[in-house]
Amino acid sequence: MNTERLDAWHAAGAITAEQHATLTAIARRELFSVFLELNALLYLGVLAFAVGLGWTIYGRFERMGDAAVLLLLGLLLAGCFGFCFSRARPYAPDKVESPGFAFDYVLYLGSLIVGVTLGFVEIRFGLLGPNWDYHLLVSALIYAALAYRFDNRFVLSLALSTLGAWFGLRLAVLQFHIAGAQRADALAYAAVVMAAGLWTDRLELKRHFLETYLHVAANVALAALASGVIAGGDSRWLWLLGLIAASGVAIERGVRFKRFIFVVYGVLYGYVGISSRILDGLRDLTLGLAYVVVSAAAVITALAVVARRTGRDA
């Protein structure tokens, strides 16, 4: 923003002196936001607390006793969800703003403690026996319900990742793999996630959640395709064709809908897969290093150009 324009607005009385000073500082890059960094650190802190809680319980439950552990977990769950339910705004199918700064972190902590509690109960009492992996499915369903009730995409991501863990474990227990490969399992999971996101979007149910579904589906699908290319074998060219097609779709959709992160997914996964094939054919170390330097610089430049054209990053 041009500071001369701000001066003109101030002189015309369109903005106050305080607004002029703040906007001028931002335009001159004297002020910058660290919201995303602080947000990430706070979520990591919550995750670290939950991991530490789980490690302490699983390492010392014999000394603490089952009753004491369950009481502790029950109190933590009651505190977290009592806080959330008492402060949450009424449910709505559209986007609902968080009622306070601490709300999302408390909700995320409570969701993680649900997983710790179900895991402890299964380890100590073996309620599900050989089907113990179903506690992951139960956790995923609880997380999904909490995500939709409280409009939280972090908890939705937790639900989808937990569902993915259950999906993989269940197929492993059954000793069954779609098309005989774990990568095909991952592609099937990505398709299920994408279908669920499109279905809920069609129902106009938390439509802003669609991007979370697409983030998970895109990363899982592209990673599976790229790993198929890198692994080699007779089918590596089929995996490469699939990767190029999927990367192309991610890039095109990202540019069209101005979601630069999907452009990044398509470019990076595609670059890794294609480069693995090229480097396999280069026997000379110097040529390989030259290719990596030149191609990486070209990819970074291309991403910078596309970033300017897409206009925004979601």
Q: What is the pLDDT of residues 32-65, one digit of tens each?
A: 454 455 666 777 888 888 888 888 887 777 778 8
Do the beta carbons of residue 286 and residue 295 sit within 8 Å? Answer: no
Within 8 A by CB and 6+ apart from 182, the residues are 168
Closest CA to 277 of 221, 235, 223, 237: 237
* Cα 64 → chain centroid: 35
Closest CA to 183 of 139, 137, 140, 238: 238
Q: What does the pLDDT average to over 240-264?
A: 93
| Domain ranges, ordered by start, for the chain | 1-32, 35-176, 187-314
CA end-to-end span of the chain:
22
| 125 token code pair | 């009492």
**What are the counts of helices (DSSP H) followed by strands (DSSP E) for the chain?**
12, 0
Which ranges of 65-181 would DSSP assign to H, the alpha helix? 66-87, 103-125, 134-150, 153-173
Q: What is the pLDDT of residues 187-222, one digit of tens each?
A: 999 999 999 999 999 999 999 999 999 999 999 999
Average pLDDT, the chain: 86
Residue 290, CA distances (Å) to 114, 164, 243 in order: 50, 38, 24
